[in-house]
């Protein structure tokens, strides 16, 4: 337990007849990036709200470093909720100092420490602009700054990448990796599997309120073998589904991910595909997190791809 910064012990939460989270236990190691993944409506946000003590579990415990949450928990955690919200009439700098003050951070210090963060987020020239004058992506980066400015030990990010363009996703990812290098413990939820796959050390998959899988990312992937073929083609390869040995197929216009049945002949599949369409890439891989989730949870891929952000290859 000493290695775990955050522990959930058998937490449950129902809203009327609907069970939102069922008997969920997980351990988030100190200094790790931990992903809670699953489709929209799986129970990720309810879980996070219970960690934050916004929602009280019906049963079970939330422990920080092996103990009940300390009295100053709000000062040692940085929380970016899924429902973004900033005061539209305040300026960028006013928002930062106001939010920092709520965490017991003096204004002189927050003004000084805001500058390098605003610079890094390409927002410095907007420091005296009102929030309502910023684009949605800028507002999101501003809220991210307010989440981490007070130097929290635990950082919790709910659907962090929702609404961000690729450049800003890369920017935020680089900050998260820096925070990890400084020993911070980071938990984030997402339904965009590709982001979790690239960032997380550990992952917990939730479906319909229950944990279906958790562990180190490397162990989760290794446990599901190297029976996946990734194909990039020019042309219509929808016929691949009919080939012998293909047990599951995730397909996009030019990208296919095939899961092979035991004993399937990958060379025969390559020859069959190449005889009909031009193959630009063919590789045998560990399955993607997206495919593992579909296999373990039995969830329709379209359910994962609904909402902002798309599916595995958004």
Give dist(CA 298, CA 71) in Å, integer. Answer: 41
Region 187-206: mean pLDDT is 89
- Is pLDDT of 24 > 80? yes
Give dist(CA 261, CA 225) in Å, integer. Answer: 11
pLDDT of residue 16: 94
Helix H or strand E segment including 304: helix 301-305
Contacts of 181 (CB under 8 A, 6+ apart): none
pLDDT of residue 301: 47
For 226-285, CATH number?
Answer: 3.30.70
- Is pLDDT of 63 > 70? yes
**Domains of the chain: which residue ranges?**
4-221, 226-285
Region 296-311: mean pLDDT is 52
- Is pLDDT of 300 > 90? no
For 4-221, CATH number?
Answer: 3.40.50.300
Whether the predicted model's global pTM rises above the 0.95 cut: no
- Is pLDDT of 212 > 60? yes
Would you say the CATH fold of 226-285 matches that of 4-221? Answer: no
62 beta partners: 8
């Amino acid at each position: 337990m000493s290695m775990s910064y955050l522990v959930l012990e058998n937490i449950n939460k129902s809203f009327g007849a609907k069970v939102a989270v069922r008997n969920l236990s997980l351990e988030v190691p100190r200094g790790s990036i931990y992903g809670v993944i699953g489709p929209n409506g799986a129970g990720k946000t309810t879980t996070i709200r219970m960690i934050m003590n916004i929602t009280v579990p019906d049963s079970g415990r939330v422990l920080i470093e092996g103990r009940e949450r300390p009295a100053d928990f709000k000062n040692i955690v940085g929380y970016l909720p899924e429902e973004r919200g900033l005061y539209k009439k305040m300026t960028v700098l006013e928002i930062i100092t106001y939010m920092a003050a709520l965490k017991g951070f003096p204004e002189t210090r927050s003004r000084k420490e805001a500058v390098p963060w605003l610079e890094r987020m390409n927002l410095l020239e907007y420091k005296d602009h009102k929030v309502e004058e910023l684009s949605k992506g800028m507002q999101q980066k501003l809220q991210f700054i307010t989440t981490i400015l007070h130097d929290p030990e635990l950082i919790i990010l709910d659907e962090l990448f929702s609404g961000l363009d690729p450049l800003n996703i890369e920017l935020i990812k680089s900050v998260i990796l820096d925070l990890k290098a400084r020993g911070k413990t980071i938990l984030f939820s997402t339904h965009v599997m590709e982001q979790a796959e690239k960032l997380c050390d550990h992952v917990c998959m939730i479906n319909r309120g229950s944990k279906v899988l958790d562990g180190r990312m490397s162990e989760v992937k290794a446990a599901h073998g190297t029976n996946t073929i990734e194909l990039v083609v020019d042309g219509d390869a929808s016929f691949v589904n009919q080939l012998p040995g293909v047990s599951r197929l995730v397909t996009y216009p030019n990208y296919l991910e095939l899961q092979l049945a035991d004993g399937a002949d990958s060379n025969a599949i390559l020859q069959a595909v190449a005889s009909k369409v031009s193959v630009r890439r063919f590789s045998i891989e560990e399955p993607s997190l997206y495919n593992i989730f579909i296999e373990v949870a039995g969830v329709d891929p379209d359910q994962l791809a609904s909402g902002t952000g798309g599916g595995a290859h958004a």
